[in-house]
Amino acid sequence: MLKSTLSILAVSISTAAIADNTRVEHAKNSDMEHVVVSGSRVFESIDEVPASITVISQKQIEEHLQVNPELQSLLSQIVPGLAPDTGSSSNTGQSLRGRAPLVMIDGVPQSTPLRNGSLGIKTLDPSAIARIEVIKGATSIYGNGASGGIINYITKQARSGEKASGEMSISSRFSAVKVAESAGGRVSGAVNGRVEQFSYLVTASYEENGVQRDAEGDILGLQYGLSDTVTENYFTKLGYDLDEDKQIQFSYNFYSSQQETDLGDVFGNMNLGEKSYAVHMPPAQQKQGKPQGPKGNENVTLKYTDHAIFANTQLTLDAYKQDIENVFFFSPSLANPDEGYTGGQSIIRSEKQGARATFNSSIDFNDNVQATFIYGVDALNDVTSQPLVDGRVWVPEMDMDSLAGYLQTKWIVADDLVIKAGVREESIDIAVADYRTLKLCRSADTCSVPFDVKGDTVNHDATTYNVGVKYNASERFSPFASYSQGSDISDIGRLLRSATVTDIAQIQTEASIIDSYEVGFNSQLAKLRFEFAAFKSTSELGTVNKLNKETGIYEPVRAPQRIWGYEALVDYPITATLKLNATYSYTEGKNTSTDEYLGSKHISPPKLTANLNWQPQDGLSMTLSWLHVGDRKRFEKNDKNEYGLDQGPVDSYDVLNFSGQYQFANNWQGFIGVENLLNADYFPARAQSYTYGGYNVKGLGTTVTLGMKYQF
């Protein structure tokens, strides 16, 4: 039940929020895009947030889009603490500070935490995004699923001018190692404008991939692969100003990205250093099942804003509805020979509908103390399941109702000291009907034993607190410290499908409370900007998989975890036309009950990135981007001379990308992008460390993008 703790003032760092890009706040003495961020569900300057935040600007998004249209690649290159790009449609293993992030579009969750299929990052085309805000560390401000932090895609807004404007872009992407069958095409467009009080924005993109090839010219393996993928995205945002203080806004997003191919996999063994790759095969040996990937996922949001609902207070009301259907690859592990199934293909279905009320009140107590109070109520219904395409039920329907209230505060003392304070109280009910576990066979003689499980309603009540402080007296050294909690019941579906008891009440489904600690500082020394943060997070319950040797099925093991690390960022304009940005991140973690290191599902190897931008003249810009992934070798082989599930050793590798653009007319721009400029032959970090079948796919070889953009 929702308790009356909203009247209590507790300490908090506001580490999540919904931000609307209708306003921009610039931080003091900085030429960076210090826009408002998702700090407290209201507009807030980034220098008032005592936490590590990465804001990716529209310019950075557009430059990376010229090299690679996948958001996983963009986020990996720019965000410290985010694991390296997986090179696929799945972000499994791409953790944020060792834990799963919650992906959102304008504050609406896109992840499916009740059954996390790790496809949340791929939910929107980059052409519809104005900026991306990444808030690191556990937070419960948006509810379940944000144990590692938040990745919030802030979509574009209609421009204020009444004259309609827009753009069209067309490009082709192909392998420079072996061009045959690799050429693909992409077209995108946008139009926006205003007619009196009515504003509109419409974006659309359509892309067809050819085959993707590694440095040797072989087609990449198909497991979560992107070869022969067709991606469509249609987004619209409509607004109407009732008066100067009140606005209604409607937005709709449709996203589909599915693979239809006549290829088949040739599987290698990562323990032997062998890659998996794809070749043309007879129909019987081609990739089986329905096309994999998001199948027409939809989001609808309606928002009402009143900037002066009463004295010094703004009100935002929003309601949203979402339908997700993510189709996974055909897997022989889902076989049941007794019933005639040689394998199976699963679908994660999720239907969410929610409503939120957010109040923002500002009070100046005197010339030295200003306070902001953010408070409200969130309601969410999430119905998620994971059936198989053939009709079998792998994960039964989970019907979650969540009701939460929160109070977040910010105190600015003498202009320089920022203190944040708040509390969130959440009540969650998850109803699961009686179900029967699925019989799965790795071979005719190695099968799980199905049995009936009595359903129940699981209740979770959680109160989470946060505290943060930042001191901005000197831009040469601006320190901060924070403590934040998050309540996480993510991936309860994995627990249900691997049940070993006959009553859901006996399954260890309780929520995990994550405690996150962070200290750091920002420093501006003349032209040099430097950021550093050290972090630690602990939880009494985690989610690690272990092989059941009797059934051959991987089962969750919930054990206490401790994760720690540090991050650094350097931003330096070498000259007026040459700018350097570099980051370094290190993360490590252990199962504290056994003092064993965590595998790569949670912990990524060290990561170093550098971006060098040169603008020798107006209209001409070039960027060189370097990604270095370091070694991580924490585990030994088992008695079968094999590494564990996600415990393979990672050898370091380097990838260099290039992009350039030239404005050759008032409205016309040409661009080129080259991914893996030096054609490095490597396995990505996940491919090296995962010993699951089919994940041992090499990285993309040299791939070129050529295109043009027209603006009007």
- pLDDT tens, position by position, 425-461: 999 999 999 999 999 998 878 888 899 999 999 888 8
39: helix, strand or coil: coil
Rounded Cα distance between 693 and 259, Å, is 19
Q: 158: pLDDT confidence band, cut at 50, 70 and 90?
A: confident
56 burial type by CB count under 10 A (0-12 exposed, 13-18 middle, 19+ buried) = buried
Length of the chain: 712
pLDDT tops 60 at residue 193: yes
Percent of the chain clearing pLDDT 90 (strictly above): 62
- Per-residue confidence (pLDDT) for residue 445, from 0 to 100: 80
pLDDT-based confidence at residue 278 (cuts at 50, 70, 90): very high
**Maximum Cα interatomic distance, the chain, rounded to a whole number of Å:** 78
Domain that residue 262 falls in: 5-711
pLDDT for 540 beyond 50: yes
> In DSSP terms, which residues pair with 488 in a beta bridge?
512
Structure tokens at 386: 């994971």
pLDDT of residue 467: 94
Mean pLDDT of 79-90: 89
β-bridge partners, 234: 204, 254
pLDDT score of 4 = 35
- Residue of 521, 518, 519 whose CA lies nearest to 531: 521
Considering Cα of 533, then 538, then 542, then 546, what sign does the dihedral take?
A: positive
d(CA 99, CA 151): 13
Q: What is the pTM of this model?
A: 0.89
CATH number, position 454: 2.40.170.20
pLDDT of the residue at 1: 39
Of 232, 233, 147, 173, which is closest to residue 543 (Cα–Cα)?
A: 147
Residue 16 has pLDDT above 70, yes or no: no
What's the pLDDT tens digit per position in 295-333?
989 999 999 999 999 989 999 999 999 999 999 988 888
Angle at 253 between CA 250 and CA 257, to 5 degrees: 180
Q: Where are the beta strands (DSSP E) in 489-560?
A: 512-525, 528-539, 544-548, 553-557
CA 410 to chain centre: 27
Give the per-residue pLDDT at 373: 94
Q: What is the pLDDT of residues 494-513, one digit of tens each?
A: 888 888 888 888 877 777 88
What pLDDT is recorded for position 429?
93
Place of tokens 């052409």: 127
Alpha carbons 524 and 476: distance in angstroms, whole number: 5
Cα angle 133, 135, 140 (rounded to 5 degrees) comes to: 125
Q: What is the mean pLDDT of residues 668-682?
A: 97
Per-residue DSSP letters for 666-708? Answer: SSEEEEEEEESTT------HHHHH--STT---PPP--EEEEEE
What is the Cα–Cα distance from 394 to 553, expressed in whole angstroms? 13
> DSSP label at 218?
P
Mean pLDDT of 356-376: 92
Mean pLDDT throughout 169-177? Answer: 97
pLDDT confidence of residue 35: 53
The domain tally of the chain equals 1
Render pLDDT for 92-124 as a digit per residue (tens, 0 to 9). Answer: 888 999 998 888 898 888 888 888 888 878 889
DSSP letters for 231-266: EEEEEEEEEEESSSSEEEEEEEEEEEEEE--SEEEE
The whole-chain average pLDDT of the chain stands at 88
CA separation for the pair 228, 262 (Å, rounded): 9
Under 8 Å CB-to-CB from 190, ≥6 apart: which residues?
127, 128, 156, 166, 167, 201, 202, 203, 204
CA neighbours closer than 13 Å in the CB half-sphere of residue 260: 6
Average pLDDT over residues 596-615: 95
pLDDT attached to residue 518: 96
Q: Is the pLDDT score of 544 beyond 80?
A: no
